Chain A
């Protein structure tokens, strides 16, 4: 059984259908990229997987997350799946974190939840040790200071590392990352990609990685689905799709990405 099995997923907006029947699966430890431009439906597809569509949007079809149907389930039924099976890292760590809660308290939430789920007692010292361990896991150099800090007191890269630590602390088997490096500086982006790469390998995580940035997707995923106007137009190994695209739309995207790269390469 696949870790994630999506069959004929449709997402309806208030006025019209936004995703028109997409199907794919993600196996344990596999890394799948969803690529497309704004409005392609890639984020809607990813959010449908964890039942996090915004109000006014409705998903239809089948999404099996570790064998459990997500579509049509109540939030209450989905809570145990979120975190234990799939966790999400969003584009903007500034809005994903609670601005009124210290980072240490926020990181404590998934740690406590996981302990409860696993029936483990969690005393203050153990909690502290786990907080520090997760911050170390995402290569944060001064964890003590970060735990005491408010989100606005740390850099964008550090916020995103904390958000990743929170996602991982849930103990998921699938990490859904929605443009996780788009809001970051180039140098920070490279560090966060290295980090996700290491974590996925070390923790045996599957990755559903959503991005408009082809080189970034090439760096981190094995297989890719190209989306346009709510449809999958091409799918295959990332090396193949990005070097020998078959679909006309994909060819245009790849050509544009190469044109930008040529500007830099041509001079080096």
Chain B
């Protein structure tokens, strides 16, 4: 195993973590501020990917598609909040899960109805094509580096938004005491819609960025959603900082597990068995990590005060 391979795998883990962060940030924000479990967050990710693919195909520009994905996901999020989600804040979590699960089905079949059953094509923009050399003689895909960059920018941006702006102040206030901030005259309904649209836009951005790497198809959001839930549970529900650390932890552990576990097992048992067993163990690894963390810190690494 060379140094270049190791560096490449660490970058891969980082990049996966950054993608998860974009999903998890919105999810944790919505849960923290509104106390809502939104299973349809993965659908917003899919909306972003489809919007980007459709607009990029029509205009020939990935960048216009990227903007379209933000707009489409934010709009879909806002409409979803006003029409359905708003009625769920006072209900218990089971009702929320049921209603947002119904939204997944509606979004999936609606997308299939609009775009058909076959996956769409979305390519990496020419500017970001190709690979760059790594120290140690390896190469790394430029587009993945760009995703890591976007993730860092979003993380810094969110930090400033939450800690330095009026909107951020209200979000924090909404997290700590919903009734009080409403009593102080803040328009809580609009605040909720804005937060929901913001979370949706981040999911849409993640969908568009990932869409260029993999297939844009119906149902692409659900696997990402499951990982995003793992991330926010590890990070502490409601905490953006927790989402960032959780996402990078999950990304790196998952990638390194897939890479190292079969190799480590091959030292002990025949290679033909090490492959499947290692792969099976690797797919469990992040859940094992989650269980361990929850055993010692039941409310996650950076729990927002409840």
Same complex:
no
Instruction: Please list the residues of chain B having a beta carbon within 8 angstroms of any beta carbon in chain A.
Output: none
